[in-house]
Amino acid sequence: MRNSFAEKLFEIAQKDKNVILMIGDLGYGVVNKFWEELPDQFINAGIAEQNMLSIAAGLALEGKTVFVYSIANFPTLRALEQIRNDICYHNANVKIVSVGGGFSYGALGMSHHGTEDMAILRALPNMCVFCPADKNESLVVTDYVHKKYGPCYIRLGKGGEPDIHNETIRFDGVNALKIHEGNNKEVVLFATGSIIGEALVANKYLSDMKQDVSIYSFLSIKPLDVELIREVSLKYKKIITLEEHNILGGFGSAIAEIMSEQKSSAILKRIGLNDTYSSIVGSQEYLRNIYNMNYKILIKEIITKL
């Protein structure tokens, strides 16, 4: 996913000389082509993320479209005051790109786990929040964000995510995408980010029982596809949300906010990190299993009688 983003941004920057890429002394092997061929549009700010975001705001206010790229929490939580005061308050045209959302960097410990970023950034006025699930979604999100004026956050996986789309996708900045039509007419799944792969695995087991569920991928967390949420919550008895993030304030909470303001009898079940930090280290798959954010828990929730 991160390679697809880098390739797409390079393509965009070749045509738009106002595009600037800033990094926090990382990404070697991913953004090499950008700094080698477009050196006047590239800045390595070093391991100084707070300064990097303030510089990005200044460049944006002078007419540049600035993409800032770093790992998980560093361009977000470490620089939160600068994002709030310098970027969002001024509606500056800065695009924050975080690589390694959730447990992508699981083996590096809690400091590199991105599990609160969506909740915090979606609370900031003027900020849009996007969480693509595969390389195809990252391409359309990057293209959209370049064209949209104002602060945006793109939450990428580390890389190697499976493709979930077999055809060209359309993204207007809000719409969720249906990636599977299921046999189960009582339960539906909303997911965001690469953890949607767990839902696809769950459906492989459920298909033999004719209990596979419809799955929607939410590329945009803010703004949300409100019309789809309303439509689905009136049609199904149970909605399951899946995210590699704290369930408090994140994707599931955003869905709950919409559902609470409408007439619906649908039950909502949020699956994600249950308001805790991981003191355990290991692979992304290992930590998903430890914290019950995998296909097994999905199967249990889907086949449980309402």
- Model confidence at 179, pLDDT cuts 50, 70, 90, reads very high
Domains of the chain: 2-156 (3.40.50.970), 177-303 (3.40.50.920)
pLDDT tens, position by position, 91-107: 999 999 999 999 999 99
Angstrom CA distances, 152 to 20, 87, 95, 215, 276, stand at 15, 10, 5, 25, 27
- Model confidence at 264, pLDDT cuts 50, 70, 90, reads confident
Interhelix angle 2-15/135-147, nearest 10 degrees: 30
- Model confidence at 306, pLDDT cuts 50, 70, 90, reads low
Which helix H or strand E contains 23, and what residues bound it? Answer: strand 19-23
- Ranking 29-33, 94-98, 207-211, 248-252 by mean pLDDT, the lowest is 29-33
Task: Name the 3-class secondary structure at 154.
Answer: strand
Task: Name the 3-class secondary structure at 31.
Answer: coil
- Model confidence at 161, pLDDT cuts 50, 70, 90, reads confident
Looking from the CA of 47 toward its CB, the CA atoms found within 13 Å total: 1
pLDDT of residue 9: 96
Pairing of strands 65-71, 187-191: unpaired
**Which backbone phi and psi does 144 adopt, to 5 degrees?**
-65, -45
The token duo for 279 is 């003191």
pLDDT of residue 263: 85
DSSP for 228-243? HHHHHHHH-SEEEEEE
The Cα–Cα gap between 270 and 245 comes to: 11
Average pLDDT over residues 170-190: 96
pLDDT tens, position by position, 210-237: 999 999 999 999 999 999 999 999 999 9
Which helix H or strand E contains 298, and what residues bound it? Answer: helix 295-303
pLDDT of residue 97: 97
Neighbours of 65 (CB within 10 A): 20
The answer, yes or no, to whether residue 173 has pLDDT greater than 80, is: yes
Mean pLDDT value across the chain: 95
The answer, yes or no, to whether residue 241 has pLDDT greater than 70, is: yes
* Predicted model pTM: 0.96
pLDDT tens, position by position, 63-122: 999 999 999 899 999 999 999 999 999 999 999 999 999 999 999 999 999 999 999 999
**Which backbone phi and psi does 240 adopt, to 5 degrees?**
-110, 130
